[in-house]
């Protein structure tokens, strides 16, 4: 799980890459054997996606108002 402080320091390209890699992590975990799945990995990836998308939306909104 990535902290919001770290996410704010990333560029937009890095944020997009972060979202893509976290989504791939979720996809890979879901297709694992039932006993090999790690719920905490999926949960952490979802939090990272949400934080990254929130930051991207905030930046987009701030550019529109300027």
Read off the pLDDT of residues 6-28 as tens digits, 9 standing for 90 and up.
999 999 999 999 999 999 999 99
Closest CA to 1 of 55, 46, 44: 44
pTM of the model: 0.87
Alpha carbon separation from 59 to 6, 10, 15, 37, 42 (Å, rounded) = 15, 12, 11, 34, 26
Residue 44, pLDDT score = 95
As a whole number of Å, the end-to-end CA separation of the chain is 32
Segment 22-35 shows an average pLDDT of 91
pLDDT at residue 49 above 90?
A: yes
**55 contacts 7 by C-beta, under 8 angstroms:** yes
**Residues 6 or more apart whose Cβ sits within 8 Å of residue 16:** 56
Q: Check residue 65 and give its pLDDT.
A: 81
Q: What pLDDT does residue 1 have? A: 66
């Amino acid at each position: 799980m990535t902290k919001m402080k770290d996410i704010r320091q990333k560029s937009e390209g890095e944020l997009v890459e972060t979202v893509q890699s976290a989504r791939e992590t979720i996809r890979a975990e879901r297709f694992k054997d039932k006993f090999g799945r790690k719920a905490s990995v999926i949960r952490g990836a979802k939090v990272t996606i949400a934080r990254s998308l929130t930051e991207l939306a905030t930046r987009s909104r701030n550019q529109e108002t300027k």
